[in-house]
């Protein structure tokens, strides 16, 4: 994902910090989380990993 593509995501797009998730490499929410390193966003939404992992929910 490029920074330009990242900047096109909605302002309320939920990011996922689930680095140990088996689908992290294919997950847009995790990819967007990794983009925070180069982003200039001051605010963003992050999924609650305890809920994600306990429900065996995978990001889309």
* Residue at 15 is within a domain: yes
- How many domains does the chain fold into? 1
Query: Structural domain of residue 42, as residue ranges?
Result: 3-54
Question: Cα 25 to the chain's mean position, in Å?
Answer: 11
Give pairs for 5-10: CB < 8 Å, separation 24+. Answer: 6/32, 6/35, 6/39, 7/39
pLDDT of residue 7 exceeding 80, the answer is yes
User: pLDDT band at 60, cuts 50/70/90?
Assistant: low
* Residue at 12 is within a domain: yes
* Residue at 44 is within a domain: yes
To which H or E segment does residue 55 belong?
A: none
pLDDT in tens, 14-52: 999 888 888 888 889 999 999 999 998 889 998 887 776
* CA–CA distance, 24 with 59 (Å, rounded to integer): 8
pLDDT at 22: 81
pLDDT at 49: 79
């Amino acid at each position: 994902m490029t920074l330009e593509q990242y900047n096109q995501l909605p302002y309320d797009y939920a990011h996922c910090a689930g680095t140990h998730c088996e689908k992290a490499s294919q997950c847009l929410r995790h990819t967007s989380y990794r983009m925070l390193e180069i982003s200039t966003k001051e605010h963003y939404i992050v999924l609650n990993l305890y809920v994600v992992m306990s429900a065996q929910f995978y990001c889309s």
